[in-house]
Amino acid sequence: MSDSAQPAPVERDWRASLLALTHPRVVTMLFLGLSAGIPLLLIFSSLSLWLREAGVERAAVTFFSWAALGYSFKFVWAPLVDRLPVPWLTRKLGRRRAWMLVAQVSIIGAIIWMALTNPAGGQLQLTSMALGAVLLGFSSATQDIVIDAYRIESADADLQALMSSTYIAGYRVGMLVAGAGALYLASFFGSEKDSYSYQAWFYTYCIMATTMLVGVVTTLVIDEPVNERTPAYADATTDYVGFLGLFITGAGAFVLTFVLLGDVLATLAGSLSELVANDVLAAVATEALRLLGALAIAVGVARLVLVTGWVNRAMVIETYVEPVQEFFRRYGAKVALLLLALVGLYRISDIVLGVIANVFYQDLDFTKEQIATVVKSFGLGMTILGGFLGGILSVRYGVMRILFVGALLTVATNLLFILLAVVGNHEPLLYLVISADNLTAGLASAAFIAFLSSLTNVRFTAVQYAIFSSLMTLLPKVIGGYSGTMVDSFGYVNFFMLAAALGVPVLLLVWAANRYVELQLPSDQQDSS
């Protein structure tokens, strides 16, 4: 989190590293992590099993993962969260806590919306489910923006790696609640693969909505972080309205263009498929073109609005442009682009595989109870262990070393899924695969979050971290949306080989980044704000 060059890592005392886990700020992140982890699987794996039981096709199920693309574009509205006050709440709770509470209430509303929707009720109900999932993804991404900013602003840099570890631990507990908990509840209430019950899933998602009260209570009892940087336009209501209008106009242009380009590019996808003889590659290419086209139109519309003078130009530049300029000034264009490439690709192998993982277990005829017990419950323990291990090792040996180890182990553990695909329904092997995969995921995630925090200047906490974390998931989730189509095209074994191969370039990026950037341990970093 510094603007200047940093000294090389210094090894820390084990006892001091372990004692830091009891710091109140570190413990707080456990509960905020739980609140952040609950929504994710209600969009991904739990929802995918619900949709499959309701008779939705596998390819359509994985397309639902795009509902979480809000995580990948949260940098667009992160400045709104960073600057705009919430009427009444900001005065009572402070900037961060007010937005955190708003996001959590919105998450509860989105989960209840999904609970009230039966995906087996036809296309209209399926569309309603998709809209509810999009709202859940948007609300959850907003909560992440605030929690990330709160974490970085609420404690000195020497606690960031361990705060990342407890955040991941809480996050995984939240995923256990929304993963294993949801599957156990759906089975308890009477829904099975060959005996679908909407009522069972209705009760399940309503209960999941109540679990978010943990986050609400935490938000109400914690202190607002002290940050010397206050918004420059605290009393300019007109500027806020114009800023919000700019966002709504740009977002509307993006959505409209994205929808309209769907039909236009459908013909191109068919022609490209014939040309390259690969339906999946053609689909990914046309969707990428559709996404870039919509972004270009949105940016163009936003620039036109700026020209009219309806929006405070200085406010927009300070909010969107300066955080990016500061990052490139700090590292230089060459190193900055290298770091952004690493951020954008580090989790690609893990995310692409994870989108279809639960469907894979179900296709191997593992029951929901087995999936809940082995994948969710047992897997949680391994992930938490990996998270704490990654945090402590990052503090002791340096972030970049553990980042490389995590990337290497991700490639290796993804190959284990090939063995499971060949052997089939074999519970001891499932335990082995989940042990290796989740331990690695926890270790790599802890190091990666600490890495992202190290790149962030606290002068631009919300925006810079939102850009990094958005970039982290954008390409993986776009590709992951086609995982069902890829499996249908060339099978699970080849898919898992591809997922592992996607992680190989990451090793080269970590090695190259380590040559150009020396990231010190968080305890040695100096805040340049």
Residue range 177-217, pLDDT digits in tens: 887 788 888 888 887 777 788 888 899 999 999 999 988 99
12: region left, alpha or beta (phi > 0 left; psi from -120 to 50 alpha): beta
* Helices of type H across 348-482: 348-363, 368-370, 379-397, 399-423, 427-455, 461-480
Q: How far apart are CA 64 and CA 57, in angstroms?
A: 11
Residue range 445-492, pLDDT digits in tens: 888 887 887 787 767 766 777 778 777 777 777 676 667 677 777 788
Taking the CA atoms of residue 490, residue 496, residue 501 and residue 507 in that order, the dihedral angle to the nearest 10 degrees is 160
Q: Residue 271: what residue type? A: S
With a cut of 50, which residues of the chain have pLDDT below it?
A: 1-12, 228, 230, 232-235, 519-529
Mean pLDDT of the chain: 76
pLDDT, position 519: 44
pLDDT, position 113: 93
pLDDT, position 234: 45
Q: How far apart are CA 240 and CA 12, in angstroms?
A: 46
8 A C-beta contact, residue 384 and residue 172: yes
For each of the domains in the chain, give its residue range(s) and CATH number, in order of start.
Answer: 14-236+312-524 (1.20.1250.20), 237-311 (no CATH)
